[in-house]
Structure 1
Amino acid sequence: MKQTSVTTNAPCWVELGTDDPAAARDFYAELFGWRPESGVRPEDGGYTQMFLGEAAAAAVTPRYAPQQPTAWTVAIAVADADATAARADAAGGKVRKEPTDVSDLGRFSVVADPSGAVLILWQARAFAGAGVFNEPGSLGWVELATRDAAGARAFYPAVFGWSVAQSEHYTQWGLDGQDFGGMVVMDDGFPPEVAPHWLPYFSVADVDNTVGRAVAMGADVLMPAYSMPGRRIAVLRDAQGAPFGVYTDGGEA
């Protein structure tokens, strides 16, 4: 069963940190049909939510620190940001930002797993997260790329209670019967300077068409479109340098 709404201890949101938020907003609005809605309060600091129809789908933000990469960051819904951050620390991760309130919207923390892959912990108050999942133009899958698969298989179940489904070539994450992510092992195909990271995949109506339109707008193809059982996927890098995936259900069986 696919994730269709915000679920505690599962992905709930994604946000892009970039040096050119205006260009990123234009790119993703054209590619996915998103509508930008910038914050009106000074403390929002350029944070822009992107809507798919009337549902919040993602956000685009400036980079807030020199060491912050131009990249998408995945947020996990948690019941208690402080307790989850403490579990992450106890399981061998690192708390990059201590739990902090965001006005009345919620409380968040930034943590890294033992290999350095970063996640946001989001304890919702007024804002729960994305209002749409697994529909064209919305988040549908998240994938960890790491050089420490064994460490990840120990860390994420300990922190979030995730199930682990292991096949010959792929590890899949789930929770209460919902499948929402997976893991790939970073081999020689990944340049050594590429750090472990989480990659969001967005649902689209047609992967090949989406790839063609993205390239026409300045994106690069990191992984050409190909079919796998039940799904067709591709990985792109936007003009600012942030990788992301796209997929369409119904690939070759």
Structure 2
Amino acid sequence: MGLPNYVELPAADIAAAKTFYADVFGWGLVDYGPSYACTTTGTVDVGLQGDPDEASKAPLPVLPVTDIDAALAAVIKAGGQIVRPIFAFPGGRRFQFLDPNGNELAIMQADD
């Protein structure tokens, strides 16, 4: 597993968040439906999650892997608590978990 390549931020007002980050940092954000937008630089990108049913409570680091099933098994074996089982999204699959201190993280595998 690598270091985070993505950070997802909860954004109850996604329009305001998009405007803010564009104005402050000049970020170009790509919309993926009405409640999600993200940068697509290919380095460390930022996603804005506007759906309150999908958003984490705090910023969500996302770590890339090449084998999501092995990563899931490793998280479970190490005592991580799965809060969202593996699911598909445009561009890949991911799952979310809590570490022993209650921090929420996600692991994703990009589509080939």
Task: Bin the TM-score by the shorter chain.
Answer: 0.7 to 0.9
- 1:159 matched to 2:24? The reply is yes
Higher relative contact order (CA 8 A, sep 6+): 2
Corresponding letter in the other structure for 1:199: L
Contact 1:202 1:247 in 2 (8 A): yes
Superposed CA deviations along residues 64-102 of structure 1, whole A, max 9, x for unmatched, are xxxxxxxxxxxxxxxxxxxxxxxxxxxxxxxxxxxxxxx
Task: Give the paired residue count.
Answer: 109
Query: Which of 201, 208, 215 is residue 62 of structure 2 equivalent to?
Result: 201
2:85 is matched with: 224
The residue matched to 1:187 in structure 2 has which SS? coil
1:171 is matched with: 37
Looking at structure 2, the residues matched to 161 and 229 of structure 1 have their Cα atoms a distance apart, in angstroms, of 24
Looking at structure 2, the residues matched to 231 and 188 of structure 1 have their Cα atoms a distance apart, in angstroms, of 20
The residue matched to 2:2 in structure 1 has which SS? coil
Task: Give the TM-score of the pair, scaled to structure 1.
Answer: 0.39
The residue matched to 2:5 in structure 1 has which SS? strand
Q: 1:201 deviation in Å?
A: 0.5
Q: 1:155 deviation in Å?
A: 1.0
The residue matched to 1:142 in structure 2 has which SS? strand
The residue matched to 1:139 in structure 2 has which SS? coil
Looking at structure 1, the residues matched to 82 and 28 of structure 2 have their Cα atoms a distance apart, in angstroms, of 31
- 1:146 matched to 2:5? The reply is no
- 1:228–1:167 distance in 2 versus 1, CA, 3 Å: closer
Segments of 4+ in structure 1 off by > 4 A?
none
Looking at structure 1, the residues matched to 47 and 11 of structure 2 have their Cα atoms a distance apart, in angstroms, of 11
Looking at structure 1, the residues matched to 24 and 103 of structure 2 have their Cα atoms a distance apart, in angstroms, of 27
- 1:161–1:187 distance in 2 versus 1, CA, 3 Å: same
Corresponding letter in the other structure for 2:12: R
Superposed CA deviations along residues 87-146 of structure 1, whole A, max 9, x for unmatched, are xxxxxxxxxxxxxxxxxxxxxxxxxxxxxxxxxxxxxxxxxxxxxxxxx42221111112
- Structure that is richer in strand per residue: 1
Query: Which of 211, 215, 240 is residue 72 of structure 2 equivalent to?
Result: 211
Corresponding letter in the other structure for 1:160: F
Once the two structures are aligned, what percentage of the paired residues are identical?
26
Query: Which of 46, 52, 72 is residue 181 of structure 1 equivalent to?
Result: 46
Contact 1:145 1:198 in 2 (8 A): yes
Looking at structure 1, the residues matched to 52 and 69 of structure 2 have their Cα atoms a distance apart, in angstroms, of 26
1:250 is matched with: 111
- 1:167–1:188 distance in 2 versus 1, CA, 3 Å: closer
Structure 1, unaligned runs of 5 or more: 1-135
Looking at structure 2, the residues matched to 142 and 198 of structure 1 have their Cα atoms a distance apart, in angstroms, of 7
Structure 2, unaligned runs of 5 or more: none
Corresponding letter in the other structure for 1:234: F
Looking at structure 1, the residues matched to 97 and 110 of structure 2 have their Cα atoms a distance apart, in angstroms, of 18
